[in-house]
Structure formats: structure tokens, C-alpha cells
Amino acid sequence: MKTGRFAKLLWWWATVFAKTILSLIFGAIFYTGWLAVAIPVLKGSAPVAVKAICWLSAPVVTALGFALGVTCFELLPGTRKTKFLSTLKWTLTTCCAAAAAVAIFGPMLIVFAMLTATPIAIAIRELLIAKRPTNANKKQ
């Protein structure tokens, strides 16, 4: 492997790592914000329907945070730009699947599942996007 190729590969992995960490930070911040609103609602005497909507909104709010973290990283010069909605679909699907998978074990495990599965999914997404041919390659 040539040095230039190795340097590009190393830079790509560093970019994926930084993007994943930033999205994790944003996801955790958004979940914490959701928690600040949810605790009074869930501990109070709100109707069951309101409490259900509150619980169902946790993956949505957290997924928004993850997607916003990826989008903020992509604002840096020299980074690949993707559409926010495509990122949101990926993070929302992962957050909802992770929350559904562990919901039967208790609500506190939902946050750990979302904050573990979604960064892994973001890294996999980056790998899949890197494997796609670019527009320049399609024309040749």
C-alpha cells in the first residue's frame, strides 16, 4: 500500500470517528433535553395518552440530535455533504429499532440502546456511502 493511499484511508477513518463522536454528543444532549421535559410529565398526574406520547417521542428527539450532529460535522470545509433527511431516516430507524428491542426490559435501557446502536449505524452508513460510486465515476 502506498503512503498516499494509507494517509487517505487514515484520514477517512479519523473523519468517520469524529463524525460519529460529534453525533453521539448531539444525541446525548438532545436526549438530556427530552429527559428534562419528560420527567415532570411522567412523574406528574398526566393522562396515560400524554405519557405514552412522551415515551414514544424519545427515539424521535434523540434521532434528531444524532442527525444534527452529522449535519454539523458536514458543515466543515472539505467534508462530503449529505442531505439532512437521508441522515434523519437512518438515525430515526436505528433509534426506534434499538428502543423497541430493549423496551421490554425497562425504560432505562432504551437510552443505552439508542446511544450504542446509532453511532454504530452512523459508522456503517459512512462505510456504505464511501463504497458508492460518485457522480464523476458514473459518467465514465
Interatomic CA distance for residues 135 and 126, integer angstroms: 17
Does a structural domain hold residue 94? yes
What pLDDT does 32 receive?
95
Q: Which three cell numbers stand for residue 64?
A: 434528531
List, for residues 30-61, the tens digit of each pLDDT value.
999 999 999 999 898 889 999 889 989 999 99
Domain count, the chain: 1
Does a structural domain hold residue 98? yes
Does a structural domain hold residue 2? no
For the ranges 12-26, 51-65, 96-110, 126-140, the lowest mean pLDDT is seen at 126-140
Does a structural domain hold residue 100? yes
List, for residues 54-93, the tens digit of each pLDDT value.
989 999 999 999 999 999 998 888 777 888 999 999 999 9
Does a structural domain hold residue 81? yes
Does a structural domain hold residue 122? yes
Does a structural domain hold residue 5? no
Does a structural domain hold residue 140? no
Domain that residue 73 falls in: 15-130
Greatest Cα pair distance, the chain, in angstroms, is 65
